[in-house]
Each structure stands twice: as structure tokens, then as C-alpha cells.
Amino acid sequence: MASRSVRVDCWKCANVMKDVLLPFSRYEECSQCKADLHVCYACRHYDPAAADACREDRAEFVLDKDRANFCDYFLPGKNAFRRKNEGDSRAAEQQLAELFGEELPQTKPGESASSESDQALAELKRLFGDED
């Protein structure tokens, strides 16, 4: 099979890699975030609504959709990057916090929540009354 050069979008960070030679190996990684590229999430056949999340009926079942695999039917999909819907998870976290009588730290619209370590530090300061 002859190699051909294509544009591939990283499924994890949306980095655009130009002139990637196909077919690429299962060890191919994103040049920016180092995520595996030969994964179900990046495949043209990936469809969460389909049986086993794959529209290729001859493909074997893959448990870890975000890990490199040996699927022979892998074809890089267009628009592999899918932005996560933060609204649904935020609403679920809010309901859980209300159930246990806790409050979630509020973020302004368009502002992402701080990193896990920043949140832990803020919680320690709140608990021990450390005012800088």
C-alpha cells in the first residue's frame, strides 16, 4: 500500500498535524500533548451511538477507546476533537453538593475551574483561615 500525506487533528487537544503519512503505526503520538493517535476516538468509524461505539461491523471490540490499539479498520476521522460539555457535569456536581449541604466554588462565565492543586490549596486556606 502506498503512503499518502494527510492532515490529522488530535482527538485530545485539537492540535493540527499536517503532512502525517498514512497508514501510521499504533505508536504515533500527537506532537503537542503526546496522546496516542491510533485510538477509537480519532477514528472515522467511531460513533458513541453505535454498537461497541464503532460503525465498522467487522472490527473487534476495543475496551479502552482512548488508548492505542491494533484495529485494522482504523481511518483518521475528520474533526476527531470533541469539546466536552462542561455544563452537564457542572450541574451534576452542583446537585451532589446540594445533597450533602456543600457549596461549589463559583467560576465566572468563560472562566475555567482552576487546577486540582489550586483547588486543594484554596480549600486548605479556607479550612485553616490562612489569609495572605
The rounded Cα 41 to chain-centroid distance in angstroms is 8
In this model, does residue 93 exceed pLDDT 90? Answer: no
pLDDT of residue 1: 55
Q: Of 33 and 112, which is predicted with more confidence?
A: 33
Sequence ranges of the domains in the chain: 1-105
d(CA 118, CA 58): 46
pLDDT of residue 22: 79
Cβ 80 vs Cβ 33: under 8 Å: no
pLDDT of residue 106: 64
pLDDT in tens, 42-89: 999 999 899 899 999 999 999 999 999 999 999 988 777 776 666 677
Q: Of 113 and 74, which is predicted with more confidence?
A: 74
